[in-house]
């Protein structure tokens, strides 16, 4: 009898069907009031005492296996029916597909990288926690230099030599230290300055700084690069360079583009002049080259830098820099269709 029960258990385990009628017939065959289990339990009374334990366990196993199989088959049919009803109903309203959105800073950053990559600039990155040498001293800003006051710095209390970088020029110093000219790189990244937060300034913002070093690099090369950038980025072909001061470039200049005075917004953002300042630039100071172990007698170069938030505010007419950092979904959703 034990072998008979074991064979029935094996038959139950391999039984498959997708018909509800066949499942019911299977259940009645084994579990019905006149089914096989009823007969087997009646036959169990005549089993030899030495075999009762093994046969009894086998009968209980057969009953449990059969009940589980019936439940599994019924559940499978229910799930299949639900899926068929869900996808087979062509009148069912479709589920809305929520599209994600890129942050406007990421959009502008990627666009700037794309523009400069077309003329051979690579991307370089560096640490946000920087040391004094790479952030200040190597950039022609020795200790107690008055120009350090131009940038209110977050210093690390436990180590006065460490600070949160105030510009991505520190990345350029590291790149020059580890690479020989010709060098053509841009350094996008987040920077930190201890400034009051307002609609036009923030203590955290993003920069992209560019560097080109080779033999016979001139200010004319810098101007042509900037003109190419403004055409590609803004569609503007008129720029001007105003003399300025930066410790790590000489000569230095501020770059303005002619935005125009076609709309009321143009008058507002340009203060009626039509001109907008977008970045600073200049020829790399020979002292900076020397600090990075590059021969200033042989090589020259230019550098430029711009704030990504400022470019984004111009492109998308965003009136308040704080909107970039508030994570307001209503604001961010406006950029869903922008790659």
Average pLDDT over residues 42-67: 74
Which pLDDT score is estimated for 189? Answer: 95
Residue 266 forms part of a structural domain: yes
pLDDT at 129 over 70: yes
- 77 and 129, same domain (yes or no): no
Q: Is residue 181 part of a domain?
A: yes
Which tokens go with 181? Answer: 């000219």
Higher pLDDT, 335 or 2: 335
DSSP code for 155: B
Q: Among 64-68, 196-200, 291-295, which range has the highest average pLDDT?
A: 291-295
Q: Is residue 142 domain-shared with residue 233, that is, in the same domain? A: yes
Asked whether residue 13 is domain-assigned, the answer is: yes
Tell me the angle at which helices 52-88 and 36-44 cross, rounded to the nearest 10 degrees: 170
Model confidence at 57: pLDDT above 90? no
Q: State residue 283's pLDDT score.
A: 97
Identify whether 93 is part of a domain: no
The pLDDT value given to residue 92: 66
pLDDT digits (tens, 9 = 90+) for 235-279: 988 999 999 999 999 999 999 999 988 888 888 888 899 999 999
Per the domain annotation, does 223 fall within a domain? yes
Residue 90 reports pLDDT greater than 70: no
Mean pLDDT for 169-189 is 96
Q: What angle do CA 191, 118, 226 make, to 5 degrees?
A: 60
How far apart are the C-alpha atoms of 110 and 119, rounded to whole Å?
15
Long-range contact pairs involving 98-103 (C-beta distance under 8 Å, separation at least 24): 99/336, 99/337, 100/336, 101/332, 101/333, 101/334, 101/335, 101/336, 101/338, 102/335, 102/338, 102/339, 103/324, 103/332, 103/335
- Both 145 and 281 in a single domain? yes
H-helix or E-strand spanning residue 113: helix 104-117
d(CA 31, CA 57): 17
Mean of pLDDT values over 92-101: 71
8 Å CB contact between 163 and 203 = no
Query: In this structure, is residue 95 part of a structural domain?
Result: no
- Give the residue-averaged pLDDT of 186-194: 94
Is 108 in the same domain as 230? yes
Q: How far is CA 152 from CA 130, 253, 263, in A?
A: 15, 22, 37
Same domain, 74 and 108: no
* Residue at a domain's end among 28, 53, 88: 88
Sheet with 239-246, side-by-side order of all strands: 122-123, 183-192, 204-214, 300-307, 275-284, 249-258, 239-246
Which band of pLDDT confidence, cut at 50, 70 and 90, is reported for residue 205? very high
CA distances from 17 to 71, 82, 143, 230, 246 (A): 13, 18, 84, 70, 81
CATH code where residue 284 lies: 3.30.930.10
Residues in the chain: 339
Clarify whether residues 168 and 285 are in a common domain: yes
- The pLDDT-based confidence of 23 (bands split at 50, 70, 90) is confident
- Residue 268 is predicted with a pLDDT of 85
pLDDT of residue 151: 66
Q: Which of 55, 88, 121 is the last residue of a domain?
A: 88
More confident residue, 230 or 42: 230
Indicate whether 128 and 78 sit together in one domain: no
Q: Most confidently modeled of 4-18, 74-88, 108-122?
A: 108-122
Section 293-317 average pLDDT: 94
Both 79 and 27 in one domain: the answer is yes
For residues 213 and 14, the model is more confident at: 213
Same domain for 314 and 195: yes
- Residue 56 shares a structural domain with residue 157: no
Whether the predicted pLDDT of 212 surpasses 80: yes
The answer on 277 and 213 residing in a single domain is: yes
Judge whether residue 94 has pLDDT over 60: yes
Q: Is residue 98 a part of any domain in this protein?
A: no
Q: Containing domain of residue 159, as a range?
A: 104-335
Q: Of the residues 56, 88, 120, which one is the last residue of a structural domain?
A: 88
Mean pLDDT for all residues in the chain:
86
Are 224 and 265 members of one domain? yes
Please tell me the predicted confidence (pLDDT) of residue 147.
Answer: 64
Total number of domains constituting the chain: 2
Q: What angle do CA 101, 103, 108 make, to 5 degrees?
A: 120
Indicate if the pLDDT at residue 171 is higher than 80: yes
Tens of pLDDT along 150-162? 668 888 887 878 9
Mean pLDDT of the region 203-208: 94
Q: Which residues pair with 163 in a beta bridge?
A: 130, 155
15 within 8 A of 76, measured Cβ to Cβ: no
What pLDDT is stored for residue 210 in this prediction?
Answer: 97
Beta strands (DSSP E) in the chain are: 122-123, 129-131, 162-164, 183-192, 204-214, 239-246, 249-258, 275-284, 300-307
- Comparing 9-23, 40-54, 148-162, 194-208, the range with the smallest average pLDDT is 40-54
Pairing of strands 122-123, 183-192: parallel
Q: Is the dihedral of CA 63, 68, 71, 76 positive or negative?
A: negative
Give the residue from 219, 224, 212 showing the smallest Cα distance to 289.
212
- Residue 88: pLDDT band with limits 50, 70, 90: low
At 158, list the tokens: 């436990």
pLDDT attached to residue 337: 57
Tell whether 96 is covered by a domain: no
Inform me whether the pLDDT recorded for 17 exceeds 70.
yes
pTM above 0.85, yes or no: no
């Amino acid at each position: 009898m034990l072998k008979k029960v074991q064979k029935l258990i094996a038959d139950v385990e391999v039984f498959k069907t997708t018909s509800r009628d066949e499942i019911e017939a299977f259940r009645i065959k084994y579990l019905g009031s006149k089914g096989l289990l009823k007969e087997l339990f009646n036959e169990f009374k005549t089993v030899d005492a030495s075999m009762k334990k093994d046969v009894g366990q086998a009968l209980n196993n057969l009953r449990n296996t059969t009940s589980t199989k019936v439940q599994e088959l019924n559940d499978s049919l229910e799930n299949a029916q639900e899926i068929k009803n869900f996808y087979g109903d062509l009148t069912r309203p479709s589920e809305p597909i929520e599209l994600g959105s890129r942050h406007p800073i990421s959009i502008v950053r990627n666009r700037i990288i794309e523009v400069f990559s077309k003329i051979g600039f690579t991307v370089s990155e560096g640490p946000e926690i920087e040391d004094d040498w790479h952030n200040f001293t190597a950039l022609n800003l020795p200790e107690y230099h008055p120009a350090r006051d131009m940038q209110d710095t977050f210093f690390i209390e436990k180590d006065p030599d460490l600070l949160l970088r105030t510009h991505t020029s520190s990345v350029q110093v590291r790149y020059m230290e580890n690479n020989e000219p010709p060098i053509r790189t841009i350094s996008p990244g987040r920077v930190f300055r201890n400034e009051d937060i307002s609609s036009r300034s923030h203590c955290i913002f993003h920069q992209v700084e560019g560097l080109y070093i080779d033999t016979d690099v001139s200010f004319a090369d810098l101007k042509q690069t900037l003109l190419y950038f403004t055409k590609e980025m803004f569609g503007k072909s008129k720029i001007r360079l105003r003399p300025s001061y930066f410790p790590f470039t000489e000569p230095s200049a501020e770059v303005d583009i002619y935005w125009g005075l076609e709309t009321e917004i143009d008058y507002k953002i340009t203060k009626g002049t039509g001109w907008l300042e977008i970045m600073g630039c200049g020829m790399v100071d020979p002292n900076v080259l020397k600090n990075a172990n590059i021969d200033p007698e042989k090589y020259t170069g230019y550098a430029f830098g711009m704030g990504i938030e400022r470019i984004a505010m111009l492109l998308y007419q965003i009136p308040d820099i704080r909107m970039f950092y508030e994570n307001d979904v209503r604001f961010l959703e406006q950029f869903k269709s922008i790659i």
